[in-house]
Amino acid sequence: MGDHHTDSIEQGEGERRTHGRTRRQVLRAGAATGLGTVLLGGSQTTAAAPPDVSEENFHVYLAFGQSNMEGQGTIEAQDRQVPERFHVLQDKTCSGEGWQYGEWRVAEPPLNRCWAGIGPMDYFGRTMVEEADESIHVGVVPAAVSGADIALFQKGAPIGRNDRDIPSQFDGAYQWLLDLAQQAQEVGTIKGMLFHQGETNTGQTDWKNKVAGIVSDLKSDLDIGDVPFLAGELMYEEYNGCCQVHNQEIAQLPDLIPNAHVVSAEGLDNQDQYHFSTEAYREFGRRYAEEMLQHVDVSGDDESTPEPVEPPENDGPSWPGNATDPDDDGLYEDLNGNGEVDFQDVVDYFNGMDSEGMQNDVQYYDYNGNGEVDYADLVDLFGQVE
């Protein structure tokens, strides 16, 4: 399948800074001034990303594979009701919709490129938002291509672009996904990966090793550790599925990939021998989320309510050791410790102004509040002599 709306000019990596400002600053400034408004689905929707939360609270998930991850379900009215904390990173410029490669937008479908339908990502993101603390925002980074051989996603582009519909500046899908993921890391934290692929490679026993290599390369190149990797099963034979035999290869991925888990496709019906129905895609997305929620913390870091810090006790100045604070205002006017402010205190102050002890205890001797010990403080002290 080809895109209905494409643009020959894609935004490259060199465009991520604008007039000295970071991409995050530029996009946030646009949102703050109302410049982040795009036409979406016939209505005006304001882009809300990157959200104004910490990188730790913007949870990002990579999503790649072929047509079932791309999304082939019919977009209905209910699918356009999107939580404002759910975002998608645009994976291809779509001039007809006003979407630019590498820009965040509210995750109203289609999420993959310019034309795809409902897929697992849609209800994965909704469910993650519903289950997460309200301080958490969720972003998906799609890079799925109909008919893709697994080799399209291998590092080094061993089969090149393979006549697949990916942005023109990339030699293969690995480079494409990596570029998007690195952009996502500028504003958020990658928490996991979603994967659905295998119809094109059904029955190939080396497929699972290629998948493991791709995941290992991504984790290394992105420095994200062993984040959860979720692989969905292919359609079951009872729904006339073409490729259930390949589920035995998918079942072995957890043995090859640390923190890998399989998402069941049991009971998910079809629209044809390759693709799930629209309702099945919704349910599949929920299942991906239910599995992911077992492996990630979505409680939030509660930045808005930091633990109170107890103020240090006021032990008084270290010099001179017998100074007192006669009026309990936190300032030490009685330098000689005789219980009153007198002329001897003025003399002691004058003699000690340049001493290391007084300079280290400025907060106790700065009577005029200008942040230093000076002659104005001396005059102030003289004025207090009884």
Catalytic residues: 67, 272, 275
Alpha-helix residue ranges (DSSP H) falling in the chain: 23-32, 67-70, 120-131, 173-185, 207-222, 247-250, 253-256, 278-292, 343-352, 356-360, 362-365, 375-383
How far is CA 185 from its chain centroid?
A: 6
Question: Is 369 in a helix, a strand, or coil?
Answer: coil
Question: Is 215 in a helix, a strand, or coil?
Answer: helix
Output the six-digit token pair for 320: 């001179």
Q: Which of 59, 71, 34 is nearest to 227 (CA)?
A: 59
Question: Is 169 in a helix, a strand, or coil?
Answer: coil
> What's at 67, amino acid-wise?
S
Q: Which of 207, 216, 60, 69 is nearest to 141 (CA)?
A: 60
d(C-alpha 12, C-alpha 101), whole Å: 8
Alpha-helix residue ranges (DSSP H) falling in 8-140: 23-32, 67-70, 120-131
Instruction: Judge contact between 226 and 219, C-beta under 8 A.
Output: yes
Surface-to-core class of residue 176, CB atoms within 10 Å of its CB (0-12 exposed, 13-18 middle, 19+ buried): buried
- How big is the CA angle at 308 (ends 306 and 313), to the nearest 5 degrees? 150
Contacts of 266 (CB under 8 A, 6+ apart): 233, 236
Output the six-digit token pair for 44: 């005006």
Surface-to-core class of residue 60, CB atoms within 10 Å of its CB (0-12 exposed, 13-18 middle, 19+ buried): buried
Q: Which of 211, 186, 189 is nearest to 198 (CA)?
A: 211
Instruction: Judge contact between 265 and 233, C-beta under 8 A.
Output: yes
Contacts of 87 (CB under 8 A, 6+ apart): 48, 49, 50, 51, 104, 105, 106, 107, 137, 138, 139, 140
